[in-house]
């Protein structure tokens, strides 16, 4: 059915089309008969994965960026996802970058975006995830600093975000790799990353003691790091005893993109990103001797892409752009083939 609906959605500008799908999923999530209907239609085999001290019902998750404000996750969960990562969430509400800020590249099965963390703020999102959730679903929250927060003060944003979301989420992801917030990627450098993570690890110990449970803490990295920069980041992540890595965010490179839109500023996602992300997952897995769990994300468009990501060393995969091009049946198709 989606192959008939997609041309209609693609006649709408990308951000408006996304808002429409988010609204539909929000409605589904709020109405029990609709939830049950979708759950039955997109039911997937149970293929559990253990990672970060958690049991995921299957290895396929929804990447951060799709449901930034936590308003549609109950509906999205009915599509078969084993986990959903909300956000990126900022501490204070912010509008993000000026529109237009999302662009489709259908020939390449890709998207450009320069969203810049539009967010209704941490307290709004926290309210959306209070209460019950679908059985077995793992819920993560991706955290980012406000654009107005100086890089030198970014740690304070992340600390407060951890305090808000640690009691409500199963894991937290520290986003230091979006290309669309000025200066953010500087936090991936060895010195800056160590200063940030050492602060957040102490905060996690305090929070974990209050909650009487561990809070898995992951770092999301950019695919544009050099090998030396990536190794520096991994040294810091391992030294600070973080639980895992998410590889990768969008890229500022334009591999294989011939569209005139290649000149647009922003991050590229979708099929052209997949080889970069797989290579990075392979390197992380080798460099960490398989001891640092990896969520592989970037250009996962179908079952073959998923298998390549898992073969490279990822324990879980996430998708977003694949859902735009493949539709709601993609998750079921992938998991059924594993």
Gap between the Cα atoms of 159 and 122, Å rounded: 12
DSSP state of 47: -
Judge residue 9's burial from the number of C-beta atoms within 10 Å of its C-beta, 0-12 exposed, 13-18 middle, 19 or more buried: middle
| Active-site residue, from 119, 177, 178, 277 | 178
Residue pointed to by tokens 């049946």? 329
Tokens of 266: 């922003």
- Please give the helix or strand (H or E) that residue 205 lies within, else none: helix 190-211
Sign, Cα dihedral of 214, 234, 302, 105: positive
Gap between the Cα atoms of 130 and 133, Å rounded: 9
Q: Please, are residues 114 and 265 in contact by the beta-carbon 8 Å criterion? A: yes
Gap between the Cα atoms of 133 and 104, Å rounded: 32
Instruction: Give the other-Cβ count within 10 Å of 52's Cβ.
Output: 22
Gap between the Cα atoms of 281 and 300, Å rounded: 13
Helices (H) and strands (E) in the chain, counts: 12, 13
Gap between the Cα atoms of 40 and 317, Å rounded: 23
Check if 195 is active-site. Answer: no
Q: Is the peptide bond before 259 cis (omega within 30 degrees of 0)?
A: no
Alpha helices in 103-172 (DSSP H): 122-128, 154-165
Which residues are part of the catalytic machinery? 178
């Amino acid at each position: 059915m989606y192959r008939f609906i997609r041309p209609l959605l693609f006649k709408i500008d990308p951000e408006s089309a996304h808002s429409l799908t988010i609204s539909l999923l929000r409605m589904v999530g709020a109405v029990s008969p609709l939830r049950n209907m979708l759950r039955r239609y997109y039911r997937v085999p149970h293929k559990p994965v253990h990672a970060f001290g958690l049991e995921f019902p299957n290895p396929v998750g929804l990447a951060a960026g799709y449901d930034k404000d936590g308003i549609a996750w109950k509906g999205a969960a009915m599509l078969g996802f084993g986990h959903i990562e909300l956000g990126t969430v900022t501490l204070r509400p912010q509008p993000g970058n000026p529109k237009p800020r999302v662009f489709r590249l259908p020939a390449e099965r890709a998207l450009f975006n320069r969203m810049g963390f539009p967010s209704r703020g941490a307290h709004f999102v926290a309210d959306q995830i209070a209460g019950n959730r679908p059985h077995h679903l793992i819920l993560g929250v991706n955290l980012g600093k406000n654009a107005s927060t100086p890089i030198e003060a970014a740690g304070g944003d992340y600390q407060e975000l951890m305090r808000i979301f640690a009691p409500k989420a199963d894991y937290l992801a520290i986003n230091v790799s979006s290309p669309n917030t000025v200066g953010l990627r500087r936090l991936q450098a060895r010195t800056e990353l160590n200063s940030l993570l050492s602060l957040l690890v102490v905060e996690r110990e305090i929070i974990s003691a209050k909650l009487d449970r561990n809070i898995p803490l992951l770092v999301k990295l950019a695919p544009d790091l050099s090998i030396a920069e990536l190794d520096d980041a991994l040294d810091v992540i391992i030294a600070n005893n973080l639980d895992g890595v998410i590889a990768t965010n969008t890229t500022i490179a334009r591999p294989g993109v011939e569209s005139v839109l290649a000149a647009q500023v922003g991050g590229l996602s979708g099929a052209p990103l997949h080889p970069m992300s797989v290579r990075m997952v392979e390197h992380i897995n080798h460099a960490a001797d398989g001891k640092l769990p990896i969520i592989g994300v970037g250009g996962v468009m179908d079952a073959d892409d998923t298998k390549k990501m898992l073969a490279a060393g990822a324990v879980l995969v996430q998708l977003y752009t694949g859902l735009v091009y493949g539709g709601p049946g993609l998750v079921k198709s992938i998991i059924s083939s594993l």
